[in-house]
Amino acid sequence: MRSFHRLSATAAALPEADIDTDRIIPARFIDRRPQDGLADCLFHDLRFAADGSERPEFALNRPGWRDAGILVTGPNFGCGSSREHAIFALLDWGVRVVIGPSPAEIFANNAFENGLLMVAPERAAVLELLGRLETAPATTVTVDLERQVVEWDNRSVPFAIDPRRRRCLLAGLDTLALTLAMTERITAFEAARGEA
């Protein structure tokens, strides 16, 4: 796994609640292999009209946000399908961090497993940041995993993260390698319980 410590970048705002993974990447692109690139599919039907032209009002089509490294979202971001292509499309576009209150759980797990940092500060703090990006879209936002804070201007807001996840992300540790080292315990568990 790619390690993550700290990122300072411009941040695009997507304040709408309940943005589902079908919107992040429509199902018809799921038969593409992530290694062949998915950036062009990210938010495809929000970014492009039916005739293929760009919708200028969509966040990632705004000139200052085309290379945003951070996405700031409304609640329940990533709900719906468990498709990991949603994570790969975001990473491929260049997003390394998603900030949003109460993100959908499967999405957040998939993000962690693939080195996309998903952080959920308090809702009020996210609303404040969304408001700031509305008036000052060029604001640089810093996400510091070591100190567990999101910072912009003179503001600094904390976020909670599972300690094991934080450790894995900071060190770039692979979850599977850690579990494989516990194989004896799994074998003992299987032996002790018999068959289910």
- Give residues in contact with another protein (CB under 8 A): 16-18, 20, 22-23, 26-28, 30-34, 45, 50, 75-76, 79-85, 87, 102, 104-106, 109-110, 113-114, 162-164, 167, 174-177, 179-180, 182-183, 185-186, 189-190, 193, 196
Other CB atoms within 10 Å distance of the CB of residue 155: 14
Q: How far is the CB of 128 from another protein (least distance, A)?
A: 16
Give the C-alpha separation, 150 to 4, whole Å.
Answer: 14
Give the C-alpha separation, 169 to 165, whole Å.
Answer: 6
Give the C-alpha separation, 179 to 186, whole Å.
Answer: 9
Cα 165-81-46 angle, rounded to 5 deg: 105
| C-beta closer to another protein: residue 63 or 163 | 163
Question: Residue 97 in contact with residue 117, Cβ under 8 Å?
Answer: yes
| C-beta closer to another protein: residue 54 or 153 | 54
| C-beta closer to another protein: residue 156 or 179 | 179
Q: How far is the CB of 104 from another protein (least distance, A)?
A: 7
| C-beta closer to another protein: residue 3 or 175 | 175
